[in-house]
Amino acid sequence: MKIKTAVFPAAGLGTRFLPATKAQPKEMLPLVDKPMIQYVIEEAQKSGIEHVIIITGRGKNSIEDHFDMSYELERNLEEKGKTELLELVQSVSNMITISYVRQKEALGLGHAILCAKHLVGNEPFAVFLGDDIVDADVPCMAQMMKAWDKHQCSIIAVEQVSMEHVSSYGVIAGEKLEDRLYKISDMVEKPKREDAPSDLAIIGRYILTPEIFDILEKTQKGAGGEIQLTDGLRTLLKTQNFYGYQFEGNRYDTGSKMGFLKATVEFALKREDLGPEFREYLKTLDL
């Protein structure tokens, strides 16, 4: 079975970016000139996803507007003969089929995913978290889909991180099965360095089987009074094979200010129109 649907939870409050996120969603903050959410939706599209379900909340309307047609803007660009910009704007609204579900209260990531149950149905699906942006020759989710085609079980993306940083992540315990693929036996949320079962950190890309919905429905509130996805995943892995896939590519944690800054600089340097001049400018800084 192919994975055609993706869930994109975007109902969090984005407190780490306040005050920028007081009246605007974190997902709409731009890296250079493109909102963060668009990078991730492009990854979904390039990986063969046909339908994205975005979980939104109050104050997130600009996400819907961004992926919608903008008649006034399009007419204006057309009248002024700005064809390239017109095509750019139109390509965003024509990208992919998107549905929106409102999570009325931010009750946690597990709860946000559960909000998509009625639209996903009884099929495996992908989950993308907008805080992780992966720059890779083959999109991260496309790499995971290959592993899915072979094994047809739940898969989460993992990244090797230094032991100094393990306590910022969910970490897997597992056994290596083949190149880049691990069979997960347990996962621990933000372990102390000495308690971490490995240096393989979970990042925001998942392929999940629909059984997760029944599990999340029964999952009690955990850390922070929220329904935690990790708690649901730990239950799922007791009954099913569950794999970790070590993807190829560079990941930026754009949910943190430092990750956001790193991605901004590196993406700008890679741009043909901006990179050369920006590189020269950086060289002039007295660091």
Q: Name the site residues for ligand UTP (rule: CB under 6 A).
A: 9-16, 26, 55, 103, 106-109, 111-112, 129-131, 255
For the CB of residue 139, give the shortest distance to ligand UTP in the complex, in Å. Answer: 18
Closer CB to ligand UTP, 9 or 139, in the complex = 9
Cβ-based neighbour number of residue 248 at 10 Å: 12
Q: Is 74 exposed, middle or buried (0-12, 13-18, 19+ CB in 10 A)?
A: middle
Helix ranges restricted to H, the chain: 36-46, 61-66, 71-79, 83-93, 109-114, 117-120, 140-151, 211-218, 229-239, 257-270, 275-284
Strand partners, 101: 55
- Which residues is 176 bridged to in the sheet? 182
Q: For ligand UTP, which is the closer residue by CB, 14 or 35?
A: 14
Q: Encoding tokens for residue 148? A: 């899915």
Q: Which is nearer to ligand UTP, 129 or 212 (CB)?
A: 129
Smaller CB separation from ligand UTP, 111 or 205: 111
Q: How far is the CB of 228 from ligand UTP (least distance, A)?
A: 10
Q: Which among 245, 216, 261 has a CA at the least distance from the CA of 120?
A: 216
Q: Name every residue whose Cβ is closer than 8 Å to that of residue 242 and which is 6 or more positions away in sequence.
A: 153, 154, 155, 156, 183, 184, 233, 236
State which residue has the least CB distance to ligand UTP.
12
- Which residue, 8 or 147, is less far from ligand UTP as judged by CB? 8
Closest distance between ligand UTP and the C-beta of residue 281, in Å? 30
In the complex, minimum distance from the CB of residue 194 to ligand UTP, in angstroms, rounded to a whole number: 25
As measured in angstroms, the least distance from the Cβ of 40 to ligand UTP is 10
- Assign 263 to helix, strand or coil: helix
121's torsion region: left (phi>0), alpha (psi -120 to 50) or beta?
left
d(CA 80, CA 100): 33
Cβ partners under 8 Å of residue 186, min gap 6: 172, 173, 174, 197, 234, 237
Which tokens belong to 150? 């072979």
Measured over the CA atoms of residue 254, residue 255, residue 256 and residue 257, the dihedral's sign is positive
State the minimum distance, in angstroms, from the CB of residue 201 to ligand UTP.
15
Considering the complex, what minimum distance in angstroms separates the CB of residue 6 from ligand UTP? 13
> In the complex with ligand UTP, which residue's Cβ is closer, 11 or 86?
11
Which is closer to ligand UTP, CB of 86 or CB of 140?
140
- 26 vs 251, beta carbon nearer ligand UTP: 26
Dig out the tokens for 45 from the structure.
């599209």
In the complex, least distance from residue 224 CB atom to ligand UTP, rounded to whole angstroms: 9
